[in-house]
A and B are shown apart, each in its own frame.
Chain A
């Protein structure tokens, strides 16, 4: 523990803390052990297990029985422990994930989940394996339909469930698609090695931020209003402060003047709402108490007198003349757009759109809704600012950015701000930026103790989302199907604060024309402020929105010109070396190979069954354009290796990749490599974990750190063996001596071992800023993906039945093919979510109408396509180790347009608004009565 969080003299209340409610005695058996305890009547079984018995395996996400993360067995049957009171478990036999395994000795089901790639971030896993365990005990031979049913009450957001289906087959010794293997030393890279940290994730011991218990910790609850935008007239905390155990109620009045503001792009976000709330869920006060139930109860007693104000929740409303300004122009001094709700006016283009000659011009407007990340781990934070230094625990994707922002806000040296970032339970872009850490720091300073805030899922929905978009687009083609121009106007509906909205809009729209040779282009893009949840980074980073429009245009052209969707792309898609954006880096992969592979996997050339339709689409996203990643690698005297990297492993598996790289570079067995992350006091600076950059940037940094060690190994050899450095070299993790070739691992045991030292290597990858480049730098690589579908539509209900879903990425080199597939499937299924179900709906008051898991629908096991296939193209042509490229976002870029094309092919109905819910498809079918694609404009 840091100096900053060493406890001060404990207040009296610590010894005998106040409790809320009526205490009841309960007796039950937990994991075979009798338990007798006192518990408040209102305490859920989940809270009792986690807080009362310190069994932190079961997790809280939705708290309404939808996600299953809290699943435990009661008398052998799986139940949601969030929906049971602890007192209801009187005399029950409770089994939690901790009871399944004996330390690292995993149960059959746990083992299967780990070895079949069922585990990514791991937050859903303790609940998932309990459901799986119950099924396995009852029916080990369960067929796929039974497995899908049994796991349908457990949501996963990282993967595509297929690996879990495999795990269930594996648990009963049936054949599976892929299993991890023990790598041969020296060949870890390229092997399907088991996830590092995977054991902890399946046995429930992985500590996420909500699982941490910091000495002296207090609990904060946000006070919010049931309205989108309001003028705050008066806040009366009297009743809340009277609740025993309440330590403070903090409002804007308790913070410095002027209100401290922060943000990545602009310092526009207040620590707490001051005078006015600008979106549904923006806190107006915060209650700090000894216990979380006390804080939650007291938060409900804070009386806020407010006046509801008109809330802008759509692009049209925000752009209307005379619309209220979301941001005070004083916050935007010097900004020519300060008296509008347009945050930025971005313009890109080339050629001569107006002068270009096309045979066919297609013009349409497409919309993409607000969607939310729905990481199964809700956001959580702990801050100890009670001393002169500050410690922040936050599952943040960018710990060093958080450190910088906190240091700036509190005028502290960076070295005094210690950020610990436990592995996020899913991030997807939602955990990049600081959110409530500043508020907690002020609260912690005020009361002199650490403060913890774990958001509910509903509060998480009110904290992060993807920008919605309206894209108006004109596209010109020749009669042969050659692209002549795109004329794109994208408006992205962002929230009340900028977060990284400009960057999202820039990166998405700079490559708005997609992976094509487009002779003429005009792209106008605007992030538009509104009174809605702050939009932020989200897998795909601005690309899925514009690509929905652009790829749908290509499909519209194909239909109109009578060209096959595959053929029109064969004509126009850039291949390696071809121009993408003129003057910028050309296509960095043989993208047509991905196109052909996707078509092959789908069976594009085979006859299509009656009533079915097929669709295909492509997408590219710019990888990181700038930034610095450092790594330190320590080679210890016994040959074991410690890698230090600032990357956050949020399920993508970065830790595993890094260990594979270091193992091979130092000739060490994979299991002798440890990777330390998530602690700014220990690991060197890394810009961020985003843009699928870590394999390339941090992977290269680690490679170079190992090369730094190589030089020292040669020195060591010269010194200890008396050979000349010209006679020694390093190759593939081996030292090549005049008389032998030996793994570095073994060599250092003999040489270093004698004096018990270690070798320390440092490495970095830096891509400097190019101030003349519209993105600040050219893309380090492109993520290219091709997605294809075969579907059928129930014309009576509008339901889309997905028979096949294929996704192929241009990955350069798969350092761990199973992990690449897991990421690809996860992105594909997340893309399917926003294509068919997901949308945040708001009412006239700016309130989110479908707040929480009950009415915001994501994919379950039973919604999976009948067949989901992923493929990859490996030409070792990326900038990362062994020619790798980043891979985590490709499969979400073009899901929607490929699916919509398949629906149009099957039914003739063309949809330009997402998601393609049954109702929307039904409505389109009924409005069109179209059979042959006659609905294209």
Chain B
């Protein structure tokens, strides 16, 4: 580990000043469950770590405002999971947050950190992408927003300029009944990184599928066939459409899996997630 300086600003402008002082080499610290590994292994080096945990504007909070849910930058996976469980909201996000690392990791890791780390295998990213979630970005000129789907530009690459800080994630609340599901493939049942993962959002008139760990950035696809939307489509027809969607992924072969296994598993989890999403949609429709 190379030495570095550390600052812990109390407000956003102060954090931005620190960023300006240290230039683009400064690193923003949220939960630290990825950053501290990278620093220790020398994958990242920096003159200064800027810890955002004490920034007042970023303090853990989950609020409903306007038409959505706003999850502040310092909200941990544990807190998020608890909120979603207690409020019976966004079950796919709850399920994804529940498999990020171990309890120890989830007690530190934040949702915003999971997005900003921009690992192609991040579990929450496909879910957020499929739900049309946006990140809220503090800039010198005010606030801008960006769809998570677009905010992540590639493997470990995000659309965040100098002096910018992600302050929250906003997830729109649907104005119509919807069923969402998350699923993934791992090498073992206990704590693991996704070999591939998927989020499916089923509305009466649209199905959005987001694949993870199979492209450098989230692959968000909309079913144009109408087959996946239909609750009475045959399993065979659904499988064909899912296979066609999965074929748009470009997975790599690495230590976790080979490319063809990943592609095949996209179809498997695609079918599983679609089925669960339809069940949830049916329940949502029944509850209306």
* In the assembled complex, B83 has its CB within 8 A of some CB on chain A: no
**Known interface pairs A77-B78, A153-B105. Does A796 touch B8 (Cβ–Cβ under 8 Å)?**
no
| Complex Cα spacing A154 to B53, Å | 26
| Complex Cα spacing A918 to B269, Å | 14
| Complex Cα spacing A856 to B287, Å | 45
* In the assembled complex, B65 has its CB within 8 A of some CB on chain A: no
**Known interface pairs A83-B108, A87-B8, A860-B190. Does A293 touch B264 (Cβ–Cβ under 8 Å)?**
no
Is the Cβ of A300 less than 8 Å from the Cβ of B2?
A: yes
* In the assembled complex, B168 has its CB within 8 A of some CB on chain A: no
Residue of A nearest to B267 (CB): A796
Is the Cβ of B261 less than 8 Å from the Cβ of A922?
A: yes
Is the Cβ of B1 less than 8 Å from the Cβ of A293?
A: yes
Is the Cβ of A837 less than 8 Å from the Cβ of B187?
A: yes
* In the assembled complex, A460 has its CB within 8 A of some CB on chain B: no
Q: Count chain B CB atoms within 10 A of each CB in A78, A293, A919 and give the residue with the most.
A: A919
Is the Cβ of A41 less than 8 Å from the Cβ of B42?
A: no
Indicate which residue in B5, B29, B37, B185 contacts A64 across the interface (CB closer than 8 Å): B37
- Provide the residues of chain A in CB contact with B37, threshold 8 Å: 63-65, 83
| Complex Cα spacing A131 to B102, Å | 11
Give the contacts of A29-88 with B (CB-CB under 8 A). Answer: 40-42, 44, 63-66, 68, 71, 74, 77-80, 82-85, 87-88
**Known interface pairs A85-B32, A87-B6, A797-B185. Does A78 touch B107 (Cβ–Cβ under 8 Å)?**
yes
**Known interface pairs A42-B3, A297-B1, A860-B188. Does A84 touch B108 (Cβ–Cβ under 8 Å)?**
yes
* In the assembled complex, A444 has its CB within 8 A of some CB on chain B: no
B164 to chain A, nearest CB (A): 22
Is the Cβ of B190 less than 8 Å from the Cβ of A83?
A: no
Is the Cβ of B51 less than 8 Å from the Cβ of A88?
A: yes
* In the assembled complex, B255 has its CB within 8 A of some CB on chain A: yes
Is the Cβ of A87 less than 8 Å from the Cβ of B255?
A: no
* In the assembled complex, B101 has its CB within 8 A of some CB on chain A: yes
- Provide the residues of chain A in CB contact with B101, threshold 8 Å: 65, 153
Indicate which residue in A21, A22, A68, A922 contacts B104 across the interface (CB closer than 8 Å): A68
User: Digit string of B201-228 for contact with A (CB within 8 Å is 1, else 0)?
Assistant: 0000000000000000000000000000
| Complex Cα spacing A813 to B14, Å | 70
Indicate which residue in A78, A797, A836 contacts B103 across the interface (CB closer than 8 Å): A78
Is the Cβ of B1 less than 8 Å from the Cβ of A296?
A: yes
- Provide the residues of chain A in CB contact with B256, threshold 8 Å: 855
A798 to chain B, nearest CB (A): 8
Indicate which residue in A22, A797, A836 contacts B3 across the interface (CB closer than 8 Å): A22
Residue of B nearest to A150 (CB): B103
| Complex Cα spacing A149 to B189, Å | 10
* In the assembled complex, B122 has its CB within 8 A of some CB on chain A: no
| Complex Cα spacing A85 to B39, Å | 11
Chain B residues within 8 Å of chain A by Cβ, number: 44
* In the assembled complex, B237 has its CB within 8 A of some CB on chain A: no
Give the contacts of B248-262 with A (CB-CB under 8 A). Answer: 255-258, 261
A18 to chain B, nearest CB (A): 12
Indicate which residue in B29, B49, B102, B192 contacts A857 across the interface (CB closer than 8 Å): B192
- Provide the residues of chain A in CB contact with B36, threshold 8 Å: 44, 82-85
Is the Cβ of A849 less than 8 Å from the Cβ of B49?
A: no
Residue of A nearest to B265 (CB): A797
- Provide the residues of chain A in CB contact with B54, threshold 8 Å: 90
B34 to chain A, nearest CB (A): 9
Is the Cβ of B3 less than 8 Å from the Cβ of A20?
A: yes
B195 to chain A, nearest CB (A): 8
A149 to chain B, nearest CB (A): 7
- Provide the residues of chain B in CB contact with A41, threshold 8 Å: 3-6, 49
Q: Count chain B CB atoms within 10 A of each CB in A71, A83, A917 and give the residue with the most.
A: A83
* In the assembled complex, A403 has its CB within 8 A of some CB on chain B: no
Indicate which residue in B105, B108, B255 contacts A850 across the interface (CB closer than 8 Å): B255
A-B contact count (CB 8 A): 139
Is the Cβ of B103 less than 8 Å from the Cβ of A861?
A: no
User: Digit string of A1-30 for contact with B (CB within 8 Å is 1, else 0)?
Assistant: 000000000000000000011101000000
* In the assembled complex, A923 has its CB within 8 A of some CB on chain B: yes
User: Digit string of A288-312 for contact with B (CB within 8 Å is 1, else 0)?
Assistant: 0000010011001000000000000
* In the assembled complex, A841 has its CB within 8 A of some CB on chain B: yes
* In the assembled complex, A854 has its CB within 8 A of some CB on chain B: yes
| Complex Cα spacing A862 to B32, Å | 25
| Complex Cα spacing A20 to B187, Å | 40
Q: Majority SS of interface residues in chain B?
A: loop
* In the assembled complex, B191 has its CB within 8 A of some CB on chain A: yes
Is the Cβ of B190 less than 8 Å from the Cβ of A152?
A: yes
* In the assembled complex, A863 has its CB within 8 A of some CB on chain B: yes
| Complex Cα spacing A154 to B33, Å | 16
**Known interface pairs A24-B6, A131-B104, A923-B261. Does A918 touch B187 (Cβ–Cβ under 8 Å)?**
yes
| Complex Cα spacing A796 to B242, Å | 15
Residue of B nearest to A62 (CB): B37
Is the Cβ of B32 less than 8 Å from the Cβ of A860?
A: no
Indicate which residue in A21, A80, A860 contacts B4 across the interface (CB closer than 8 Å): A21
**Known interface pairs A22-B6, A44-B36. Does A863 touch B190 (Cβ–Cβ under 8 Å)?**
yes
Give the contacts of A269-305 with B (CB-CB under 8 A). Answer: 293, 296-297, 300
| Complex Cα spacing A883 to B158, Å | 67
B151 to chain A, nearest CB (A): 24
- Provide the residues of chain B in CB contact with A74, threshold 8 Å: 107
| Complex Cα spacing A40 to B4, Å | 9
* In the assembled complex, B268 has its CB within 8 A of some CB on chain A: yes
User: Digit string of B28-71 for contact with A (CB within 8 Å is 1, else 0)?
Assistant: 01001100110111100000010101100000000000000000
Is the Cβ of B32 less than 8 Å from the Cβ of A88?
A: yes
| Complex Cα spacing A296 to B102, Å | 28
Give the contacts of B95-137 with A (CB-CB under 8 A). Answer: 101-105, 107-108
Residue of A nearest to B260 (CB): A923
| Complex Cα spacing A297 to B45, Å | 12
| Complex Cα spacing A567 to B150, Å | 62
Indicate which residue in A24, A153, A863 contacts B102 across the interface (CB closer than 8 Å): A153
**Known interface pairs A21-B4, A41-B3, A68-B102. Does A922 touch B189 (Cβ–Cβ under 8 Å)?**
no
* In the assembled complex, B198 has its CB within 8 A of some CB on chain A: no
- Provide the residues of chain B in CB contact with A849, threshold 8 Å: 255
- Provide the residues of chain A in CB contact with B78, threshold 8 Å: 77
B83 to chain A, nearest CB (A): 16
| Complex Cα spacing A394 to B101, Å | 33
* In the assembled complex, B180 has its CB within 8 A of some CB on chain A: no
* In the assembled complex, B193 has its CB within 8 A of some CB on chain A: yes
User: Digit string of B253-288 for contact with A (CB within 8 Å is 1, else 0)?
Assistant: 001111001001100100000000000000000000
- Provide the residues of chain B in CB contact with A841, threshold 8 Å: 255
Is the Cβ of A152 less than 8 Å from the Cβ of B3?
A: no
Is the Cβ of A854 less than 8 Å from the Cβ of B193?
A: yes
Residue of A nearest to B42 (CB): A300
Sorted nearest first, the 10 A-B pairs with minimum C-beta distance are: A153-B102, A860-B190, A21-B3, A41-B6, A862-B190, A77-B107, A152-B190, A862-B189, A796-B268, A850-B255
Interface positions of A (Cβ within 8 A of B): 20-22, 24, 40-42, 44, 63-66, 68, 71, 74, 77-80, 82-85, 87-88, 90, 131, 134, 149-150, 152-154, 293, 296-297, 300, 796-797, 836-837, 841, 849-850, 854-855, 857, 859-863, 917-919, 922-923
Beyond A42-B1, A850-B255: 7 further Cβ-contacts under 8 Å?
A41-B3, A63-B40, A84-B36, A131-B104, A154-B102, A297-B3, A837-B187
Residue pairs across A and B with Cβ atoms less than 8 A apart, 20 shown, are A22-B4, A65-B33, A65-B102, A79-B104, A83-B36, A83-B105, A84-B32, A85-B49, A88-B51, A131-B104, A152-B102, A152-B190, A152-B191, A296-B1, A797-B185, A857-B187, A859-B188, A860-B190, A922-B261, A922-B264
